[in-house]
Amino acid sequence: MPFCEELLTASVIRRPTLHTVWMLSRIRNAGENAGRCEKLLQDTLKKPDVLAEIKSALREYLS
């Protein structure tokens, strides 16, 4: 995994934003580490402290 993806993953885990979850979704759609990205997106959707706007975007990306 490239270093920038490691930083992105850490950022999404720490405090997801619309931009970071979008970037992670784009990486998943490109086929790069698709399984890992999919799991992180799903795990982020389940977190209770994630804003509703971000959860809505996550649902769209995962559909």
Domain range summary for the chain, segments of one domain joined by +: 3-62
Residue found under tokens 């509703």: 52
For the segment 22-61, what is each residue's pLDDT rounded down to a tens digit?
Answer: 999 999 999 878 999 999 999 999 999 999 999 999 999 9
pLDDT of residue 63: 92
Which structure tokens are listed for 30?
């490109």
Which residue type sits at 48? P
DSSP 8-class letter at 33: T
Read off the pTM.
0.89
Which residue type sits at 39? K
| DSSP per-residue string spanning 4-61 | HHHHHHHHHHHS--HHHHHHHHHHHHTTTTHHHHHHHHHHHHH-TTS-HHHHHHHHHH
